[in-house]
Amino acid sequence: MTTPALLPLSGRRLPPLNLGASAFPHHRATLRLAFITLCFGAFFFLPDSSKHKRFDLGLEDVLIPHVDTSKGGKNLGGFLIHGQGHDEHRHREEEERLRNKIRADHEKALEEAKEKLKKSRDEIQAEIQTEKNKVVQELKKKDSKPLPPVPLPNLIGINSGEPADPDIREKRNKVKEMMKHAWDNYRQYGWGHNELKPIARKGHSTNIFGNSQMGATIVDALDTLYIMGLHDEFREGQEWIDKNLDFSVNSEVSVFEVNIRFIGGLLAAYYLSGQEVFKIKAVQLAGKLLPAFNTPTGIPWAMVNLKSGVGRNWGWASAGSSILAEFGTLHMEFVHLSYLTGDPVYYNKVMHIRKLLQKMDRPNGLYPNYLNPRTGRWGQHHTSVGGLGDSFYEYLLKAWLMSDKMDMEARKMYDDAIEAIEKHLIRKSNGGLTFIGEWKNGHLERKMGHLTCFAGGMFALGADGSRDDKAGHYLQLGAEIAHTCHESYDRTTLKLGPEAFKFDGGVEAVAVRQNEKYYILRPEVIETYWYMWRFTHDPKYRQWGWEATQAIDKYCRVSGGFSGVKDVYSSSPTYDDVQQSFFLAETLKYLYLLFSNDDLLPLDNWVFNTEAHPLPVLHLANTTLSGNPAYR
């Protein structure tokens, strides 16, 4: 595998450490931006005639539908290629006329482009935006067919949770204030961009979102704003989505990331607020992801171009493989899409993946992280409950929960997988800390990622309904993982957890390599505190959550928002200058829930996707959404 710096940012994968401005000299970025803006502007300001003519030039004139071959032309599949004599002369004249026209159009276009380029950058950008808005409006007219109505599931506990205890109320208000700070700064400096650079005070993006401004932070933050009662901010977000969120862009995005952040975010916003626009956008976007499944096996590509539908895999992933945590983290959203649209296509895609996985041999009962979508064979035998594997296991459990515990196939797959993981990956350190290692080429690496810490919450969530009535055991396992992950925070200077930590020799829950010492506002440890709190009400989880809240506010807060830090062991850490969208979607949401009463989004009625977007339990008789009109 390549170095983490080459990996895409998220998806429970090891992310690149954002090296900030020094890695990409500012002037180069500015020049490139200016160049792109000019090219984009120049295209928009070509006269309409030249834009269209590019595509029909010649075709009508050279290949004319004709069946009469008597004058010496050849009939090729219904098109006649013209021959000699009179026709040839006429043809030359016609060509000359076209050539002149192209020349004239071209000159006119250049003139117009030159004129436009004399304008200031702001003027050009404003004009581009106007053109884009027009296109968006056109598309909206085409795409806004109302979807068939379905009975909405029971939406319980979307406006509750106010704690009676004044101390807890104060903590909850503090988290809300932090959300406001993150949102307001994004609103001011990064609006419409995917993420925010809180120090440079401008927009930020990574390759997972493609090259387009898709407002990832807006979509990811909506449901957190909603449950916190930040309704004006929610409406601002809704308005932006309604007017600007456009998926007909020539942009190559991560299928997994777009699914968990955008489709998950839009669906949750729809269920919470009832606003149709979110459902319509989610369905439009899902349609754009479907071409990713056009592979010889039906295992989707990691990336897809939203416009052309062309897909491919990450260059670093074992011999062209797709990634378990990516193609295995679509189920929840896709079942909801089928439920809401009455169209089984989404359900069929994810069930096909499941069936294929069920048929495959698993080394030691473990799922390797890599699967080749061309051959249907496993790639490198590397198994992880952290980056590359994690949310696959999470979605097996959540598929069962989301089906009102009817999808026993998913539950069985989860139970089998967890048993193998416990046998081969979970160990106790010399100092008595339970950790989950990684299986690499036949040996156990005694290292655990921050991402892996989500598993504490997963074990607790899956305790009820576990095989052989081992509920107590799994709750205990969840508690042990929570404890280990808390230790990884507590053993740092900043009281914030490193990206990965070891259990080797004398080292216990501490990062060793410099490039594993960063904290990028990730949620997994807090996520586990929250689940453990819900299932045990042990006050230590609120205490640990409060420690993390204070540390984030002290060390990650800057006047322009919140930033990740590069070394949690340093007393004067430097910033990575990125406010990740999952900070608003997950970290702050889980903290808020931790200091709320359990009647806010109760776990009997809601299942959180891997980006913390709550989706309601579907009380279906079974998960057979394969076109049965009863489920429409």
Please enumerate, by residue number, every residue annotated as part of a binding site: 610
Could you tell me the two tokens for 311? 């897909």
Q: Verify whether residue 276 is a known catalytic residue.
A: no
Nearest-approach distance from CB 523 to ligand DMJ, in angstroms: 6
Binding residues for Ca(2+): 610
Q: Site for ligand DMJ (CB under 6 A): which residue of 610, 615, 616, 631?
A: 610
Task: Tell the smallest beta-carbon distance from residue 12 to ligand DMJ (Å).
Answer: 4
Give the residue from 552, 569, 555, 563 showing the smallest Cα distance to 516. 569
Question: Is 390 one of the annotated active-site residues of the chain?
Answer: yes
| Residues 355-414, interacting with ligand DMJ (CB under 6 A) | 391
Q: Which is nearer to ligand DMJ, 277 or 410 (CB)?
A: 410
Q: Is residue 82 a contact residue for ligand DMJ (CB under 6 A)?
A: no
Interacting residue with ligand DMJ among 11, 449, 497, 573 (CB under 6 A): 11
Rounded CA-CA distance 287/38 in Å is: 31
Nearer to ligand DMJ, 341 or 383 (CB): 383
Nearest to 173 by CA among 158, 191, 161, 184: 161
Stretch that binds ligand DMJ, among 4-12, 70-78, 280-288, 596-604 (CB under 6 A): 4-12
Rounded-to-integer distance, Cα 598 and Cα 614, Å = 14
CA angle 593, 595, 601 (to 5 degrees): 30
Q: How far, in Å, CA of 133 to CA of 176, rounded?
A: 33
CA–CA dist 278, 615 (Å, integer):
13
Q: Which of 499, 577, 586, 611 is an active site residue? A: 499
Rounded CA separation 208/222 (Å): 20
Of 10-18, 74-82, 406-414, 589-597, the segment contacting ligand DMJ by CB under 6 A is: 10-18
611 binds ligand DMJ (CB under 6 A): yes
Q: Interacting stretch for ligand DMJ, rule CB under 6 A, among 9-17, 302-310, 486-494, 570-578?
A: 9-17
**Which of 233, 487, 524, 577 is an active site residue?**
524
Would you count residue 215 as binding ligand DMJ (CB under 6 A)? Answer: no
For the window 235-264, what string marks contact with ligand DMJ as x by the rule CB under 6 A? ------------------------------
End-to-end Cα, the chain, rounded Å: 44
Q: Which of 390, 487, 516, 567 is catalytic?
A: 390
Binding mask 445-464 for ligand DMJ (x = CB under 6 A): ------x-------------
Candidate residues 7, 8, 10, 171; the one interacting with ligand DMJ per rule CB under 6 A: 10
Give the C-alpha distances (Å, rounded to integers) separating 299 from 302, 351, 593, 627: 9, 11, 35, 21
Report 512-531 residues binding ligand DMJ (CB under 6 A). 522-523
Considering only 5-13, 30-38, 40-48, 592-600, which stretch makes contact with ligand DMJ by CB under 6 A? 5-13
The CA-atom distances, in angstroms, between 288 and each of 250, 253, 261 are 11, 10, 15
SS3 25: coil
Contact 15, 393 (CB under 8 A): no
Cα–Cα distance for residue pair 55/59, rounded to 1 Å: 8
Sign of CA dihedral 440, 514, 15, 456: positive
Nearer to ligand DMJ, 41 or 210 (CB): 210
Q: Where are the alpha helices (DSSP H) in 313-374?
A: 324-327, 331-341, 345-359
DSSP string, 486-539: HHHHHTSSSS---SEEEEETTEEEE--SGGG--B-S--HHHHHHHHHHHHH--H
80: tokens are: 């006649």
228 or 451: whose CB is closer to ligand DMJ? 451
Q: Which of 252, 257, 326, 567 is catalytic?
A: 257
Cβ of 287: how many Cβ atoms within 10 Å? Answer: 17
The site for ligand DMJ, by CB under 6 A, has a size of 11
Q: How far is the CB of 344 from ligand DMJ (least distance, A)?
A: 26
Smallest distance, ligand DMJ to C-beta of residue 562, A: 14
By CB under 6 A, the residues from 578 to 607 that bind ligand DMJ are 582, 586
Hey, which residues are catalytic here? 257, 390, 499, 524
Residue ranges in contact with ligand DMJ by CB under 6 A:
10-12, 391, 451, 522-523, 582, 586, 610-611
